[in-house]
Amino acid sequence: MATAAKHLQSAKDLHGAGLIAAEALPTIEQVAARYAVAITPAMAELIDPSDPQDPIARQFVPDAAELLSRPEESADPIGDEPHSPVEGIVHRYPDRVLLKLVHVCAVYCRFCFRRETVGQGNGVLAGEALAAALDYIRRHDEIWEVILTGGDPLVLSARRLRDAVQRLAAIAHVKIIRVHTRVPIVDPKRITARLVAALQAKGKATYVVVHANHPRELTQAARAACARLVDAGIPLLSQSVLLRGVNDDPAVLGALMRALVECRIKPYYLHHADLAPGTAHLRTSIAHGRQLMRDLRGRYSGLCQPSYMLDIPGGFGKSPIGPDYLLQPAEDGAYRVEDFSGNIHSYPPAPQ
């Protein structure tokens, strides 16, 4: 396994840690000049440099294929920009908004849908910009939930997080604060008692959605970090991205979902990979994703079943795209239902 005592943030760092060959340096430097690079020590230790298809490396080590963009790919693949009325806010759905507190992450995923904007300088939403974003939320009383995202909000200090959470908590119509993060998995030592306390607000419900894509990411340290959140009364959900060569195998995907449930994390979303520039080598087909969901159904606990989701390009929101089990009704109005083994059964129509 690779070793690293510090964050790896350049092609030279990756070469020094044994994660790329010397001959790859010029190309990987080109990738790093366009898209941010960072791998935490916790993730570097999981990478097997002798395996060219290592599933952890595929997520974090830059690849020459990232320099190749396809016509269908976009710098804003899920359409954040058309729904951003003020800096830091994305208001796509009626009752909730994204609040992008920071454009920095602990690690930079090679499939990131915000890869054109994250990792650029400090990128913290503060001062007048944060005040304007909070004022937008204050003026829109239909906003029931605020989702802290970025970047990764848990790279911020406990002091900054506490300030943002308390200012949101002071808005009466905001009832739910949701945090989207990779930090408990990729940099678990950051989940301190002070940070956990900073996420809590009296009279508000805080949820944390952690991002993990392979069962090896759920190390003992990551499990302990997640437990600190759950033991403090913060429910955990998960989101994963379906990635070629990482989790596009039923046994691997099932093991990931089981590992999450064992950590008291409810699998929430399995995202079909977005059309971000230079990510085609990591995307699967939707047909393959639907088959994987069929492979999970009935063979793994109902607790292990995420919703397979597509974020429709252009800003039209997420739609579930999982397989269908209810078939067209027969002539007598009875439904036909397929079980997880592929057998078809009849279900009677409602009485008239």
Active-site position among 58, 92, 182, 190? 92
* Residues with Cβ within 8 Å of residue 225, at least 6 apart in sequence: 184, 185, 188, 189, 190, 191
C-alpha 70: how far from chain center: 23
Q: Is 256 helix (H, G, I), strand (E, B) or coil?
A: helix
Catalytic residue among 54, 105, 110, 269: 105
User: How is 134-190 classified by DSSP, letter by letter?
Assistant: HHHHHH-TT--EEEEESS-GGGS-HHHHHHHHHHHHTSTT--EEEEEESHHHHSGGG
Collapsing DSSP to helix, strand or coil, 68 comes out as coil
152-190 burial: b if 16+ Cβ within 10 Å, else e: bbbbbebebbbebbebbbebeebebbbbbbbbbbbbbeb
- Whether 266 is catalytic: no
Nearest to 295 by CA among 275, 276, 270: 270
> Which residue, among 256, 264, 269, 245, has the nearest Cα to 321 in the 3D structure?
269
Annotation marks residue 311 as catalytic = yes
Active site residue 105: yes
Q: Report the C-alpha gap between 319 and 272 in whole angstroms.
A: 10
308's tokens? 């397979």
**How wide is the angle at C-alpha 208 spanned by C-alphas 207 and 210, nearest 5°?**
150
| Helix, coil or strand: residue 1 | coil
Catalytic residue among 100, 110, 112, 115: 112
* Catalytic-labelled residue, pool 12, 80, 93, 335: 93
Catalytic residue flag (residue 274): yes
29 contacts 14 by C-beta, under 8 angstroms = no
Is residue 139 among the annotated active site residues? Answer: no
Q: Is 109 an annotated catalytic residue? A: yes
Catalytic residue among 182, 274, 300, 308: 274
Distance in angstroms (rounded) separating the CA atoms of residues 60 and 254: 22
Catalytic residue among 264, 266, 297, 318: 318
- Is residue 263 part of the annotated active site? The answer reads no
Q: Exactly one of 63, 109, 216, 300 is catalytic; name it.
A: 109
> If you ran DSSP here, which 8-state letter would residue 313 be given?
T
DSSP string, 69-105: --TT--SSTT--GGG-SSTTEEEEETTEEEEE-BS--
Among 96, 175, 266, 290, the active-site one is: 96
- The answer to whether residue 318 is catalytic is yes
Q: Which residues are catalytic?
A: 92-93, 96, 105, 109, 112, 114, 274, 311, 318
